[in-house]
Structures are given as structure tokens and as C-alpha cells.
Structure 1
Amino acid sequence: MQNHDREPSSLRRLVTILVLIVAGETVFFLPFVLPRVFRPTLLEVFQLTNLELGVAFSIYGLVALLAYFPGGPLADRFSARKLMAFALLATSLGGIVMTSLPSFPVLKMLYGFWGLTTILLFWAPLIRETRAWGGAELPGRAFGFLDGGRGFVAAAIGSSAVALFSYFMPDDVQIATPDQQANAFRQVVLLFSTITFAAAILVWFAINDNSHRHIAPTSELKSQGIVRVLRMPTVWLQSVVVVCAYVGYKGLDDISLYAYEVLEFDEVESATVGTLSMWVRPFAAIAAGLLADRVGVARMTIASLAMFAIGTGVIAIGPFQPGVTAFFFATLIATSAAVFALRGLYYAMMEEGRVPFGDTGTAVGIVSVVGYTPDVFMGPVMGVLLDRWPGERGHQYVFLVLTIAALVGLVASIMFLRIVERSQRQAA
């Protein structure tokens, strides 16, 4: 009888993490994956400058910052299934609007709308459910599987989207007309919208409303919990690490444009470079999560930030020229691995930082308000640098910003480790 009970439990756990993985990535296909892989095409189809696209990202970021904190306590009180399914449905409808290739003012409104749908109702429930899945013993594995799996989904769908885009473009991409570009781009947006809608249905039927409540009690929306989390230095250091790692993640949006403008790749080739970076993500995040459960999350975070700093520093120096790509790809793979390893680690830091499980949503809200500020400033910063210094120089400045962020995060992660080690000694 015990074995019979254990099997459905194991199956349910497997289904839960797989659904969280799929939902956790598809909700960001339209606002993030689309411009990352197809940035040159998006700029041309919408007739935007880099700064204008950065402004749209900033609007998303500002709305998201306002949504992170109230979204945290909501996740501690209400059904993750309902919150996440509705968020996915609404996000997919925004993609339908995008297929009309709206004006820049409408595009800005759309990014603001996505800031609400992806964050207020989705982000904290996703993190809370993942932490519940991993428990106290396997936090690295839980978040490594989540982000690694999300990376696999993004890379697979991204590669499919590039193939679809290529199918609707002429054999000689350079002679594509504006109408051909726009039509191919619409097909990609429609693909992403359909997948996001399908994920909403999957969440609705596969996630158990009460799954997390059986693992740990749900905290009430009380000021004591907020104050308790605000007083934890590890939460603030974790926030700094998230800021710096997320600067790196946002900076990778420049990869496809770098390949297009500096290495002289065509639109399809540059999109392929963007997907190569995405394919690194599942392996890096899962490996980092598994190693973190052995050597410690803080130590793996320190190692990843060091690699991040070295990789972006090399690109900032600018040794890459058209036709000489092997070193570029090696650097890209190493840098992407470091950035995506961090994405699989920085929420696992909550366990070593001893955040009470009942306050997970609140802590996610606080960390996210601070940690995802790059959604506000990185788009305009990149836009100004790339438009003010066209060509290789602008890209070098972008990667210099990433190098500085990596070094700041490295200092914060070392401080975090010292606090963790001190608390462990005291507990012993």
C-alpha cells in the first residue's frame, strides 16, 4: 500500500516540475525571447531605434517593479494554479495584438501590459512552488532544474522559431522585402502566442491547487512577516546578486546584434547565434544546481560570477573580427554558462539565507523589486551606448557595463557566504 501511494506522489512531483518549467519560460517568450533572438528584425519591422526598444523594455520594468512586491504576498495566500493560468492566458492575448505590428505608442502599452501579466500574477507563485518542490534538502536542484528546463524550452522553441522565420524568408535573406520580413516575423509571434496559450491550459489542469500547502503552511499578509524579511542582511545581499546577474542576462540581448553588426552575420545567422546562447542555459543551470547541493549555493554563485566577469571582460576588450569566430563562440559559451548558472542559483540562496518558507512570497517580492531593476535601466543604457557609438565601440561599452556588474555581484556573494558560514558555526 505504501509503494502504491509513493508512485503517484513521485509522478505528481515529476509532472509538477515539468509544468513549472514549461510555464516558467513560455510566459516570457513574447516580451523577452522574441527580441533576444530576433532583435535586428524586430527593429526593422517596427522601424525602431535601439533606444526606443529600450524605452519599451523600461516601461515593462517599471510596471514589473510595482507588481513584484504585491505579487509576493498574493502568492503566499492564493492558488498558484489560478494565478499562473490567468497570467499565461493574458500574455498570449498580448501576442495577438503584436501580430498587427502596432505603432510604437501601442507597443509601449503592450510591454506595460506584459509587465503586469508576467509579474503580478505569475512570478512569485512560480518561485514559491519551486521552493516547495525542492524543500530544505534540494534547493539547488529544484531551481537548477527549473531554470535549466526553462532554458531547454527556450532554446528548443527559439530554434523552431528561427527555422519558421527562415522558411518564410527568401533563400537570399539579403534581398527580402519589408513585407516578407513582416510576414515572417508575424508567424514567429503567432507561434509564441499559441504556445503561451497552450501553457495556460496545461497549468490549469496539471497543477494541484493545494500542493504547496501540504508541504508548508501559508503565511498571512501581515506586517510582521514583511519586517522580518526586511531585517535579514542575506536577503539584501541576495538582491544585489540578482541585480548583477540580471544585468548579465539582459546584456545577452546584445549578442545577436553584436554578431550582425561586428561579425557581419546576416539576420538568420545572427538569430542562430542568439539561440546558441540559449542552448547553453539548460546544461549550465542544471549542472550548477546539482553542484550547489554538494558544495553550497553561495560557493557556486561566487564561481559563476567570477567566470561572468572574465567572459564579459574579454568581449569588452574586443578581440573579435569578421571571419574569426572560434574564439568568439568559445567566449560566448563560457559567458552564457556563467550567466545562466546564476539564474539557476540566485533563488536557491534563500535556503542558505534561512528565509522562513512561509515568507517565501514576501521575500521573492522584496528581492525581485531590487533585483529586477535592470528591466528598467538596461534597455535605455544599451540603447544609448549602441546608438551613440555605432558599431563595435558601442558593443564594447555594453560589455564593460556587464563586467562591472559581475564584479559588484562577486563582492556581494562573498559577503553572503561569510554570513552563512558564521551562522553555521553558531548553530554548531
Structure 2
Amino acid sequence: MHNTSIRRWLTLAIISISGGVSFDLAYLRYIYQIPMAKFMGFTNTEIGLIMSTFGITAIVLYAPSGIIADKFSHKKMMTSAMIATGLLGLLMSVYPPLWVMLCIQVAFAITTILMLWSVSIKAASLLGGHDEQGKIMGWMEGLRGVGVMSLAVFTMWVFSRFAPEDPNSLKSVILIYSGVYIALGILCWFFVSDGNGAQAQADSAGDKRTFSLKDILSVLRISTTWYCSMIIFGVYTIYAILSYSTNYLTEMYGLSLVAASYMGVVINKIFRAMCGPIGGLITTYSRYKSPTRVVQFLALVSVVALGVILATNRNPTSVAVGIGLILLLAFTCYASRGLYFACIGEARTPTYIMGTTVGICSVIGFLPDVFVYPIVGYWQDTLPPAEAYRNMYMMGLAASCLVIVFTFQLFRNIRRTAQNEAMTAEQAAQ
């Protein structure tokens, strides 16, 4: 029994780490935008285009990835997805021209979103009974973050070993990621089950309703679907903007490239591992008890942080203040990211349409992947740094205000539903 438990947790770690790190080469710009421009020869606008190519393809593939998770062997899908992603990395390491790079990003979306996104979530959920889902999903998010963070810190260390002008520095980073993906793919083959066990069969039978057109239309008619989608949209816009922190600190505060890149790791990786679980703790132990209210409070804090960033942007003097404000913004963003899918459950979404609701919210909520990167890249290439970053943080301010508006609407709806249920229960009791 003890061995079974160890194997279960080991399997969860492999699934979580694979699902987490698989995106790192597609999102290489998050830490290595300046080296990509220098060694691969792309402009900032082209790097933005490379990112949005992945984003656009991903948006199209989120919904079908759920059907893949129900129809195919989890072991075969995860193994082939990770190995294929590793092989694409090997092609990326030769610094191909722009058109090849764009094709690679489309292929990355197929291997990481279509073949892996829903499969990894479902494969993890099947490791426990229905009463263990909270624990398993919590650990999955934490393990993903730890995997991403460890690999990022290691590759940054390797990158910093090279001379600043050595093009092999970025190549080594890409090759390490590729090797890790292929190794994880092999581990998936030995540890991940096909997903055709008794519970998987039961789940598949229960999910049949999810794919009928009638249910999709009913999800689109529910107002809370749109409220949740817009909350995710707002938080995700801030998430995309935070990926420019490295550039902002280098260009506005004169931070060295290696120091700014380490800050990129702290903001995009370490905070990701820490802040999601902290958001859950705030919800559990504060007097709010509502994920929607906590996300609203965090959005108010981010409005304050962005206001101060915009005020100091004209005359940046203290690098410590700049870093502090960005870390505060990162905390509010990552804590909200750990909670925004919880809002769907809090909104009393019926279980049989939960999957469809998550799919639709993913499609709408992750749209910033499509437009933020090319717009900010264009600003970086055509405007003075102070003006480009002012525009970017104004966009972030608008997104935070969007979150405040829609969390207010959602919470009002949740409270009304709760009051109606209480009244119905009272009338039934009489």
C-alpha cells in the first residue's frame, strides 16, 4: 500500500512538472527577450509576433483538448507530446529564420495545448477520488511552479556562465529544455496510466452531456460565464505585461542584463510557485471566504501599485522602489491566477457543464496572449522607453479596473443566488 502511495505522488509530480515546463520554450521571451533579439536576429515586433502566433493557435486548441483527454490514452498522448516538444526545441536551437520560428510556435501549441493541457489535468485528477480533488489540484499547481522555477534557475545559471557576446549561451538553454522534455516524455511512458480505469470510464460516461451543442449554448447564456471570463481576461492581461519586467528594469533603471534576468526568474517563476497557494490560504483563513472577493481585493491593490508605477515612471530613481512595485504587482497577479478558476465553482456552475464553462472561459480569458505581445513590442520599437512603458502600464490599469467591475457583478450574482436558495429552503420548511 505504501509503495502504491509513493508511486501515485511520483506520478503526480511527473504529470505536473511536464505540464508546467512544457510551455517554457514557447514562452522563451519571458526571460530571454534581449538575447533572442541579439542572437536570433529578431526585432521586438517580430518577437511579439512569434508570441502571438502561439497565443492565437492555443486559443483555437483549448476547447478540442478536452475531447482529446476523453478519447485517447493519457500515457501515449503525454509521452508523444513531451518528446515532440523536445524535438521541436532541437530545431529551435539552430536559430532558424522567422517563418520557421512561426511554424515551430504553431507546432508547440499543438504539442502543449491540444495534446497536453486537458490530458495532464484529467490524468492528475484521476489519481484520486472525488474527495481528494482539492488536494491533488493544489499540489499540481505547486509542483508545476517548483518544476518551472528549478529549471529556470538552472538554465539562468548556465546562461550566465557564457561571455555576454557568445551566441552559444541561448543555444545551451534551449538544448537543456529539449533534453528535459524528452526525459520527461520517457518517464510519462512508465508512470502515467492510459486513463481507461473504472473512474475514467465513469467520468467519460458522465461527461457525454458536456459535448452536446445544447449545453454549450446554455453555458453561453449564463451571465456568470461571461463575468468569470472577463475576470480571467483582466488578470491574464497583467500576467502578460509582467513578462516585460526584465526589459523595464533594464531600460528604465539601468539594471544589468544578468541581474534583470534573475529578476525575471523571481517574478515569472518563483512568485508563480508561491503566490497561488497563498491566494488559497487567504480565501480559507480570512473573513472573506470568497475567491471572488479576494480577487477583487487583489485587483484594488494592483490598481494602487500601477498608479505608483505610472507616477514614478517619468522620473525613475530608486531601483529598489521599482523592483518592490513590480513584486507587489506580481503578487496580486499570481495570487489571483491561483483563484480565478475557483470563481466558476463559487458561481454555483452546475457540475455537468463545468468542463464546457472552463473551456469557454479559457478561450475568452486567455485572449491577451493574442494581442498584448505584438502591441507592446510595437510600442518598444517605435516609442521612447518611458512612453512605451507608460502605455503598457495604462493597459494594465484598465485591465485591473475590468477585474474590479466584473468581480463586483459576479459577487452580487452569487449573493442573490444564495438569498434565493435560502428563501426557497425557508418556504420548503414552512
| TM-score of the pair, normalised by structure 2 | 0.87
Distance in 1 (CA, whole Å) between partners of 2:403 and 2:366 is 14
Distance in 2 (CA, whole Å) between partners of 1:315 and 1:144 is 32
Distance in 2 (CA, whole Å) between partners of 1:151 and 1:222 is 35
Match of residue 295 from structure 2: 301
Counting only pairs closer than 5 Å after superposition, residues 71-220 of structure 1 correspond to structure 2 as: 71-129=65-123, 143-169=137-163, 173=164, 176=165, 180=166, 182-210=167-195, 214=199, 217-218=203-204, 219-220=207-208
Distance in 2 (CA, whole Å) between partners of 1:54 and 1:195 is 26
Distance in 1 (CA, whole Å) between partners of 2:135 and 2:307 is 29
| Shift in Å, 1:369 | 1.4
Q: Does 1:273 align with 2:263?
A: yes
Distance in 2 (CA, whole Å) between partners of 1:313 and 1:348 is 28
Residue from 21, 26, 29 that aligns with 2:21: 26
Distance in 2 (CA, whole Å) between partners of 1:132 and 1:303 is 34
| Shift in Å, 1:24 | 2.1
Contact persistence 1:255–1:274 (CA under 8 A) = yes
Distance in 1 (CA, whole Å) between partners of 2:189 and 2:351 is 24
Q: Which one is further off, 242-251 or 352-361?
A: 352-361
Match of residue 428 from structure 2: none
Distance in 2 (CA, whole Å) between partners of 1:70 and 1:394 is 37
Residue from 9, 17, 40 that aligns with 1:14: 9
Contact persistence 1:140–1:348 (CA under 8 A) = no
Contact persistence 1:148–1:344 (CA under 8 A) = no
Q: Which one is further off, 398-407 or 87-96?
A: 87-96
Change (3 A) 1:233 1:213: farther
Q: Which one is further off, 77-86 or 367-376?
A: 77-86
Counting only pairs closer than 5 Å after superposition, residues 310-321 of structure 1 correspond to structure 2 as: 310-319=304-313
Contact persistence 1:241–1:412 (CA under 8 A) = yes
Residue from 261, 279, 286 that aligns with 1:288: 279
Counterpart AA for 1:193: S
Match of residue 259 from structure 1: 249
Contact persistence 1:263–1:321 (CA under 8 A) = no
Distance in 1 (CA, whole Å) between partners of 2:128 and 2:308 is 36
Q: Which one is further off, 107-116 or 149-158?
A: 149-158
| Shift in Å, 1:252 | 1.3
Counting only pairs closer than 5 Å after superposition, residues 217-256 of structure 1 correspond to structure 2 as: 217-218=203-204, 219-220=207-208, 221-256=211-246
| Shift in Å, 1:43 | 1.2
Q: Does 1:57 align with 2:51?
A: yes
Contact persistence 1:144–1:290 (CA under 8 A) = no
* Secondary structure of 1:157's aligned partner: helix
Q: Does 1:393 align with 2:384?
A: no
Contact persistence 2:292–2:411 (CA under 8 A) = yes
Contact persistence 1:124–1:364 (CA under 8 A) = no
* Secondary structure of 1:30's aligned partner: coil
| Shift in Å, 1:142 | 5.2
Unaligned runs of 5+ in 1: none
Distance in 1 (CA, whole Å) between partners of 2:140 and 2:29 is 22
Contact persistence 2:313–2:386 (CA under 8 A) = no
Q: Which one is further off, 182-191 or 335-344?
A: 335-344
Bigger CA radius of gyration: 2
* Secondary structure of 1:29's aligned partner: coil
Contact persistence 1:139–1:351 (CA under 8 A) = no
| Shift in Å, 1:132 | 6.2
Distance in 2 (CA, whole Å) between partners of 1:122 and 1:298 is 28
Distance in 2 (CA, whole Å) between partners of 1:9 and 1:421 is 43
Give the number of equivalent residue pairs: 413
| TM-score of the pair, normalised by structure 1 | 0.88
Change (3 A) 1:413 1:198: farther
Residue from 33, 42, 63 that aligns with 1:39: 33
Distance in 1 (CA, whole Å) between partners of 2:84 and 2:411 is 40
Distance in 2 (CA, whole Å) between partners of 1:422 and 1:298 is 14
Distance in 2 (CA, whole Å) between partners of 1:92 and 1:10 is 30
Residue from 315, 321, 329 that aligns with 1:327: 321
Contact persistence 1:124–1:365 (CA under 8 A) = no
Counterpart AA for 2:176: L
Distance in 1 (CA, whole Å) between partners of 2:58 and 2:420 is 38
Contact persistence 2:249–2:322 (CA under 8 A) = no
Counterpart AA for 2:234: C
Contact persistence 1:289–1:344 (CA under 8 A) = yes
Distance in 2 (CA, whole Å) between partners of 1:237 and 1:133 is 31
| Shift in Å, 1:339 | 1.1
Distance in 2 (CA, whole Å) between partners of 1:362 and 1:112 is 24
Change (3 A) 1:81 1:229: farther
Q: Which has the higher contact order (CA 8 A, sep 6+)?
A: 1
Residue from 401, 404, 408 that aligns with 2:402: 408
Question: Cα deviations across residues 375-426 of structure 1 (Å, max 9, x unaligned)?
Answer: 1101111112212213222112111111111110121122222222222333
Contact persistence 2:123–2:195 (CA under 8 A) = no
Change (3 A) 1:322 1:423: closer
Distance in 1 (CA, whole Å) between partners of 2:194 and 2:254 is 50
Identity in percent: 27
